[in-house]
Amino acid sequence: MNLRNAIVAGMTAGVLTTAATAATNGFYAPYFRGVPGTDVAGWDRFTSGSATANQPDLPGSNTGTRASITQLDPVGAVLGSGNIYVGIGGAANVRIDYSSLNPVGEVFLQIRTLGTEMNYAGLRLNYTTGSGPVSVGANPFVLAAVPSQGFPGQNISLGYNWTINDPTVTAFNVSFLATGEHLSLDAVTLDVLPVGAVPEPSTWALGIFGLGAIAVAIRRRC
């Protein structure tokens, strides 16, 4: 799959603000970040490489334990850089969990991996409605990509965006797998806009300046 061909130009124009880009990762602040009622969670240095949930650690995260990341492959370990690395004999199996007291309207997820790449078509947003379980994918758009040094694949930052049109949904998870050994999970941010929290024109600037520490704090690591 050529990810550069998967860039959704119209989506990026409506979802992202450019001034909050992190120079090393290409991460953005979505237009609604900072609007009252929205949630943001960011991970830069993980504490568990396998089985145990990782809580958000980036400044500006406001979800507490309502958002977490768990790497399920038993081979996973945390490197000195704070990355989760799944090497020989394993393949990364990652689940991001989120819950809220409010119905979820829009989800914006950014992921940076190094080395072996994730299975992009296999990344799924999973939630339950009154009609039963729902699992949906999304076309990723590339935020930054450079060749990996010493490993297959690329060091790549991707964005995903979903709209949920069911006011009963207050929780979801996102799951994805690596395509093979040697994936290193470097950083993740999750932004959630609840139903009814529509930004006023004056709040669009918050997407540029508000909570910008999350994007700026993420470092390039190997």
Amino acid identity at 10: G
Residue 218 lies in a domain: no
How many Å apart are CA 46 and CA 58, to the nearest integer? 11
Residue 12 lies in a domain: yes
Query: Structure pTM?
Result: 0.83
> How many Cβ atoms from other residues are within 10 Å of residue 141's Cβ?
21
Q: How confident is the model at residue 78 (pLDDT cuts 50, 70, 90)?
A: very high
Q: How confident is the model at residue 199 (pLDDT cuts 50, 70, 90)?
A: low
Domain tally, the chain: 1
> How many Cβ atoms from other residues are within 10 Å of residue 215's Cβ?
24
Amino acid identity at 142: V
Residue 219 lies in a domain: no
Give the percent of the chain with pLDDT over 70. Answer: 78
Residue 216 lies in a domain: no
Which residues touch 149 (CB under 8 Å, ≥6 apart)? 222
Task: Between 195 and 200, name the one with better pLDDT.
Answer: 195
Residue 92 lies in a domain: yes
Residue 212 lies in a domain: no
State how far Cα 82 lies from the chain centre. Answer: 16
Residue 23 lies in a domain: yes
Chain segment 4-23, per-residue pLDDT in tens: 333 333 333 334 333 343 33
Residue 194 lies in a domain: yes
Domain that holds residue 9: 3-207
Burial classification of residue 214, based on how many CB atoms lie within 10 Å of its CB (0-12 exposed, 13-18 middle, 19 or more buried): buried
Chain segment 150-197, per-residue pLDDT in tens: 778 889 999 999 999 999 999 999 999 999 999 999 999 999 999 988
